[in-house]
Structure 1
Amino acid sequence: MVSLKDVAQRAGVSVKTVSNVVNGYAYVSSGTRNKVEAALAELDYRPNLSARNLRGGRTGVIALAVPELDAPYFAELSRAVIEAASERGWMVLIDQTDGEAEHERRLLQGVREQSVDGLILSPVAIESDDLAARTDDTPLVLLGERVLDGPAHHIAVDNQRAAREVTAHLVELGHTRIAAIGAQERPGMGTARLRLAGYREALRDAALPYDEELVVFTPSYRRADGAEAMRRLLALPQPPRAVFCFNDLLALGALRTALSRGLRVPQDVAIAGFDDIEDGRYSTPTLTTVSPDKQQIARTAVEALHARIGGGVRTRRGLPAEQEVVARHRLVVRESTAGTARP
Structure 2
Amino acid sequence: MITTRDIAERLGVSVSTVGRALADDPRISEETKFRVRQAASDMGYVGNRAARMMRGASSNVVALVIPDIRNSFYSTIAHELSKNMESEGFQLMLSETDDDRTAELRHLRELSANRVAAVIIVPSARPHSESVKLLRALPHVQLLRRHPSLGSQWFGVDDEEALRRATAHLVAQGHTRISYLGGPEELPTGAARLRGFRSALREGGLPDDAGRAELGPPSSVDHGRETVRRLLSGPDVPTALVLGSIQLTLGVLEELSRQGVKVPQELSVVGFGDEPGFSWWGPGLTTVGLPIQEMATGCALWMIRRLKTEPGNDGPYTAVSPGSLILRGSTASPDGGSSPGSA
Please report the TM-score for the alignment, with normalisation by the length of structure 2.
0.73
In the other structure, the counterpart of 2:181 is: 181
User: What is the alpha-carbon distance in structure 2 between the residues aligned to residue 135 and residue 299 of structure 1?
Assistant: 22
User: What is the alpha-carbon distance in structure 1 between the residues aligned to residue 147 and residue 311 of structure 2?
Assistant: 23
In the other structure, the counterpart of 1:251 is: 249
Change beyond 3 A, Cα 1:328–1:217: closer
In the other structure, the counterpart of 1:96 is: 96
Mean Cα deviation higher: 150-159 or 163-172: 150-159
Residues 82-109 of structure 1 show CA distances to partners (whole Å, capped at 9, x for unaligned) of 1121221221111101111122234445
Tell me how far 1:270 sits from its aligned partner: 0.8
**SS of 2:320's equivalent?**
strand
In the other structure, the counterpart of 1:288 is: 286
The answer on whether the counterparts of 1:161 and 1:198 sit within 8 Å (CA) in structure 2 is yes
In the other structure, the counterpart of 1:267 is: 265
Tell me how far 1:80 sits from its aligned partner: 1.2
Change beyond 3 A, Cα 1:112–1:277: farther
User: What is the alpha-carbon distance in structure 2 between the residues aligned to residue 164 and residue 135 of structure 1?
Assistant: 33
Tell me how far 1:265 sits from its aligned partner: 0.5
Letter of the 1:331 counterpart = L
Change beyond 3 A, Cα 1:135–1:96: closer
Residues 121-178 of structure 1 show CA distances to partners (whole Å, capped at 9, x for unaligned) of 1112334955653476221011123322454521111111111111011112221111
Change beyond 3 A, Cα 1:183–1:63: closer
In the other structure, the counterpart of 1:205 is: 203
Change beyond 3 A, Cα 1:56–1:149: same
In the other structure, the counterpart of 1:76 is: 76
Change beyond 3 A, Cα 1:213–1:250: same
The answer on whether the counterparts of 1:179 and 1:215 sit within 8 Å (CA) in structure 2 is yes
Tell me how far 1:58 sits from its aligned partner: 2.2
The answer on whether the counterparts of 2:105 and 2:128 sit within 8 Å (CA) in structure 1 is no
In the other structure, the counterpart of 2:339 is: none
Residues 225-264 of structure 1 show CA distances to partners (whole Å, capped at 9, x for unaligned) of 2111111111122211110111133223222323333321
CA RMSD of aligned residues (A): 3.0
Q: 2:276 aligns with which of 275, 278, 282?
A: 278
**SS of 1:184's equivalent?**
coil
Mean Cα deviation higher: 174-183 or 255-264: 255-264
Change beyond 3 A, Cα 1:75–1:165: same
Letter of the 1:215 counterpart = A
In the other structure, the counterpart of 2:12 is: none
Query: Identity across aligned pairs (percent)?
Result: 29
- How many equivalent residue pairs? 284
Gap regions ≥5 residues in structure 2: 1-46, 334-343
In the other structure, the counterpart of 2:318 is: 324
Mean Cα deviation higher: 323-332 or 211-220: 211-220
In the other structure, the counterpart of 1:241 is: 239
In the other structure, the counterpart of 1:305 is: 303
The answer on whether the counterparts of 1:293 and 1:329 sit within 8 Å (CA) in structure 2 is yes
Letter of the 2:263 counterpart = V
In the other structure, the counterpart of 2:29 is: none
Change beyond 3 A, Cα 1:84–1:328: farther
In the other structure, the counterpart of 1:65 is: 65
Mean Cα deviation higher: 322-331 or 66-75: 322-331
Letter of the 1:302 counterpart = A
The answer on whether the counterparts of 1:248 and 1:280 sit within 8 Å (CA) in structure 2 is no
The answer on whether the counterparts of 2:160 and 2:194 sit within 8 Å (CA) in structure 1 is yes
In the other structure, the counterpart of 1:117 is: 117
User: What is the alpha-carbon distance in structure 2 between the residues aligned to residue 205 and residue 213 of structure 1?
Assistant: 13
In the other structure, the counterpart of 2:329 is: 335
In the other structure, the counterpart of 1:14 is: none
Change beyond 3 A, Cα 1:197–1:327: same
Residues 250-288 of structure 1 show CA distances to partners (whole Å, capped at 9, x for unaligned) of 223222323333321112101112222333234233222
User: What is the alpha-carbon distance in structure 2 between the residues aligned to residue 226 and residue 294 of structure 1?
Assistant: 22
**SS of 1:76's equivalent?**
helix
User: What is the alpha-carbon distance in structure 2 between the residues aligned to residue 167 and residue 267 of structure 1?
Assistant: 18
Letter of the 2:63 counterpart = A
Mean Cα deviation higher: 261-270 or 218-227: 218-227
The answer on whether the counterparts of 2:177 and 2:210 sit within 8 Å (CA) in structure 1 is no
In the other structure, the counterpart of 2:22 is: none
The answer on whether the counterparts of 1:131 and 1:149 sit within 8 Å (CA) in structure 2 is no
In the other structure, the counterpart of 1:218 is: 216
